[in-house]
Amino acid sequence: MPKIETSTSYQTVITTFETTPGTCQDLMDELTEAYREFISKQPGFIAAGLHVNDAQTRIANYSQWRRREDFLAMLRSDEMRARNRRINEMCKSFEPVMYDVTATFD
């Protein structure tokens, strides 16, 4: 489970994908498969979630990693580089951005 806390040293990564209603489900399938078969098995992976907007034009992905280096190692792997090439073909753009949690609210 993701832990959204300021007291952790986890690396949070939020990735947004710009897509079209015609390719949104294909992209979701590709992302789901990537998490199920590869990403979730990588060292340092904690949890992730995929979110789709109502218009099916954007997908947001929230993931947490124990360390920044764990995320970067996964991203630079041959397996993920190949998957990212396929993902790139299904969307207009995507951008992973690393964040630190600075405040939380219940």
Give the tens place of pLDDT for each residue, 46-94: 999 999 999 999 999 999 999 999 999 999 999 999 999 999 999 999 9
pLDDT surpasses 80 at 17: yes
Is residue 3 situated within a structural domain?
no
Whether residue 3 has pLDDT greater than 90:
no
Mention every residue, 6+ apart, whose C-beta is less than 8 A from residue 42. 70, 73, 74, 77
Count of domains forming the chain: 1
The span from the CA of 104 to the CA of 90, in Å, is 34
Is 74 domain-assigned?
Answer: yes
| CATH number of 19's domain | 3.30.70.100
Q: Judge whether 26 lies within some domain.
A: yes
* Structural domain includes residue 5: no
Q: pTM of the predicted model, to two decimals? A: 0.91
Residue 94 lies in domain: 11-99
Residue 34: inside a domain, yes or no? yes
